[in-house]
Amino acid sequence: MSSIDVSQGIPTHVFLGVGVFLVVLPALFVTARFAGSVKIGKKLKAADWLSLVAVILLAGTLANFILIVKALSSPTTSVLYLVQLVAASGPVAASTTWAAKAPILFLYVQIFGVKPWLRIISYITLAFTFLWLLGWNIWLLYKDVPRGVITPIFLAESAYSGSVAGVASGAVGLAADVVIFLIPIPVIRELHLPLAKKIGLFVVFLTGLLAVVASAIGVYFKQLSLSGTSTDIKAAMILTLIELSIAIIVGCVPAVATFWNSFIIESGFYSMITSVFSRVSLARSTRSKKSQQSTHPENTSEYGMTAGHTYDILDDGISAKRSIRSHEQFVTAIPLREL
């Protein structure tokens, strides 16, 4: 049985703060997703509702993690209560994992569905991860739910079963993250878009690389736990939350663009901010031109008139020759035929 010491590693208050942030941030993205869809009259689809379910389950996962940390920190915690918390953590985390990543695959089918191979890979990934996580968690519930007196042998077997299921589920989650990360790349490369827009799409979908890294490190921690090595359980929990939070956010990014165009750009506050920045930019440009003129004065004649002139075509077919003397402006109208 692995040794778990919650007094070491990440401080509890840091764990709580980071955990709450990792739930609130994707919740804001999901809120923007729904608001943008409602604003443009778009019918809500399965992926939209799954993202909402994912945030709710993510909050439940954090609540379960907090209860486990508190239970491990208290010497008065009953063994039965701790076993129940650990038994509940597997199904909750697995459900959150699938609900968080499924909207991304549905998004791929919606955007790049003209590619048959992409639709097939997306649907296979959805089905396989669902069945795999379901199967392992049914087995885990069977092994972890006490049926009679709780003995040290039962606790050891329960802990080992949890570690095995954690590694198995984490490995499949990592594989799903890699698939989600890779499959849009060849499609984006073939799109006939300006380079800047292609780079923007790559940046959006490559944020999934962070989820891959977090998932890989999480599997590493679970493997250490399976081997009996002492681990920082709060760090492993944070990595799980990071992986799930990023998955929810990536699935909401295109919908957030709709929210931005429908709410932010049309708001008076946005217009005020852009107006302020425009005035500031204009003022800086004017000061810069004045500074250049004072630093590099134009060649002048003996009467102080500028040697460089400009000609403007007037509406009546006459060219205006402009010259500047001190602060006064003189315009000499000359017929075009004489130029």
Residue 335 has pLDDT above 60, yes or no: no
pLDDT score at 53? 94
Other residues' Cβ atoms within 10 Å of the Cβ of residue 30: 24
Side chain identity at residue 276, one-letter code:
V
Residue 251 near residue 222, CB atoms below 8 Å: no
Q: How confident is the model at residue 21 (pLDDT cuts 50, 70, 90)?
A: very high
pLDDT score at 191? 75
Average pLDDT over every residue of 273-289:
66
Residue 121 has pLDDT above 90, yes or no: yes
pLDDT score at 232? 76
pLDDT tens-digit profile of 299-315?
Answer: 444 444 444 444 344 44
Residue 41 near residue 262, CB atoms below 8 Å: no
Q: How confident is the model at residue 9 (pLDDT cuts 50, 70, 90)?
A: confident
Mean pLDDT of the chain: 75
Nearest Cα to Cα of residue 26 among 236, 228, 245:
245
SS3 content of the chain, % helix, strand, coil (to 5): 75, 5, 20
Residue 87 near residue 140, CB atoms below 8 Å: yes
pLDDT score at 311? 39
Residue 2 has pLDDT above 60, yes or no: no
For CA atoms 271, 277, 279, 281, the dihedral sign is negative
Residue 285 has pLDDT above 80, yes or no: no
Residue 309 near residue 318, CB atoms below 8 Å: no
Other residues' Cβ atoms within 10 Å of the Cβ of residue 228: 13
DSSP codes joined into one string, 175-193: HHHHHHHHTHHHHHHHS--
Residue 203 has pLDDT above 80, yes or no: no
Distance CA 329, CA 324 (A): 5
DSSP codes joined into one string, 203-272: HHHHTHHHHHHHHHHHHHHHHHHHTT--B-HHHHHHHHHHHHHHHHHHHHHHHHHHHIIIIITTSHHHHH
Report field, pTM of the whole predicted structure over 0.75? no
Largest separation between any pair of C-alpha atoms in the chain:
112
